[in-house]
Amino acid sequence: MKALITGGAGFVGYHLAELLSQNQNLQIYIIDDLSRGKIDNNFSKLLKKNNVFFFKKDIKKPDVLKKLSEKNFNYIFHCAAVCGTRLFYEKPYYTLLNNLQTTINLIEFFKNFKGKLLFTSTSEVYSGNENLPLPTPEVVRTSIADVFNPRWSYAGSKIVGEQLFIHGAKKYGFRYSIVRFHNIYGERMGYEHVIPGIIKRIFEKQNPFEIFGRNETRSFCYIKDGMEALWKVATSNKTDSKIINIGRGEETKIGDIYKEIFKLADFRPKKVIYKDSPKGSTKRRYPDVKLLKKLTGYECKTDIKKGVKKTFDWYKKDLANLMITNTKTKI
């Protein structure tokens, strides 16, 4: 069997490739332009496996996928996307352009695909709906709240991406599933996201220490749970033509995440400044995950404290290595 992962050097793509590479009967093909993903120690170790193959290519260029489209893949996971809140605000046009072009190219080159295509979407598609039921099922209205707010560039690209998969499948007849990840976190996700961002500011000894949106809630899902759930969706016929939430079935306050990381770091801020999240941030996010369990039998179960500790331990080492590297560079 063969699987193709776009954006396989990024956060979700790497962890998916790492999981799938454990199956020696599965060949893993990774394509990434390394604009966001990187060849670090973790990725280099993955590439040493005899069933993992890497192509440094930009799939925004139409001809790049032409050769790969001739291979007999069983699964294609479209994980390539511009992601990270800072980028949504700073580069909204680039976010839209990249995410839509890569999705259109993938569908056009694999329109006659005989395996299964999977689109990795996001809980951000719910954020423009002010009347969400909680927990939130997949059937509610998706929308963006304000086309002028650059934050919604990412959510907008994912909503259109879902439509491209749905209507592309109707036109060409390929199998597909769409998953909506809810606040996936874990090792090697960069520093633009909530949990690693907090850890980094602690190691930088930020003072006064800013805490954003402490009363907001999220359904944080540990990366390894998320990838196991994605593979379950991929390998089930019951999930064909379905949109499925992937996340933990409980809410956690952002303020409680700060407290947990402070405890792990043995850190007590001398002064704290509480701030609201940027305009457009969701107050509560809590997915209904019954459909995932019904169709695949899987539940994301990693305890938030256990997952945050694993994440903290990894970033503690990563930041220490960065400090050593920066010191050598200065010398």
pLDDT tens digits, residue range 83-103? 887 888 899 999 999 999 999
Phi, psi of 178 (to 5 degrees): -120, 130
Of 97, 104, 64, nearest in space to 82 by CA: 97
The widest CA-to-CA distance across the chain, in whole angstroms, is: 60
Alpha-carbon separation of residue 97 from 89, 92, 281, 312 (angstroms)? 14, 9, 22, 33
Lowest mean pLDDT among 72-76, 136-140, 166-170, 275-279: 275-279
How many percent of the chain have pLDDT more than 90? 85
As a whole number, the mean pLDDT across the chain is 94
Of 165, 189, 36, 43, nearest in space to 104 by CA: 165
User: Can you tell me the mean pLDDT for 78-83?
Assistant: 94
Tens-digit pLDDT profile for residues 156-191: 999 999 999 999 999 999 999 999 999 999 999 999
Of 11, 295, 94, nearest in space to 179 by CA: 295
Contacts of 210 (CB under 8 A, 6+ apart): 201, 272, 273, 275
CA quadruple 287, 292, 293, 299: dihedral positive or negative?
A: negative
- Is 20's pLDDT higher than 90? yes
- Is 43's pLDDT higher than 80? yes
- Is 220's pLDDT higher than 80? yes
Question: Residue 331: what pLDDT?
Answer: 35
Alpha-carbon separation of residue 206 from 85, 105, 185, 211, 313 (angstroms)? 20, 43, 22, 11, 19
Amino acid identity of residue 151, one-letter, is: R
Alpha-carbon separation of residue 175 from 4, 17, 241, 297 (angstroms)? 15, 21, 7, 21
- Catalogue all structural domains in the chain, each as residue range(s) with its CATH number: 2-192+219-249+280-302 (3.40.50.720)
User: Partners of 244 in the beta sheet?
Assistant: 179
Question: Residue 317: what pLDDT?
Answer: 96
Of 41, 28, 45, 34, nearest in space to 9 by CA: 34
- Is 330's pLDDT higher than 80? no
Question: Residue 323: what pLDDT?
Answer: 67
Phi, psi of 84 (to 5 degrees): 120, 120
Spatial separation of the C-alpha atoms in residues 177 and 58, rounded to whole Å: 24
Question: Residue 282: what pLDDT?
Answer: 87
User: Partners of 274 in the beta sheet?
Assistant: 211
Preceding omega of 269 cis (within 30 degrees of 0):
no
Token couple for 31: 């394509």
User: Partners of 217 in the beta sheet?
Assistant: 253
- Residue 180 sits at the vertex; the CA angle it makes with 179 and 186, to the nearest 5 degrees, is 105
Of 197 and 62, the structure prediction assigns the larger pLDDT to: 197
CB atoms within 10 A of CB 217: 20
Preceding omega of 278 cis (within 30 degrees of 0):
no
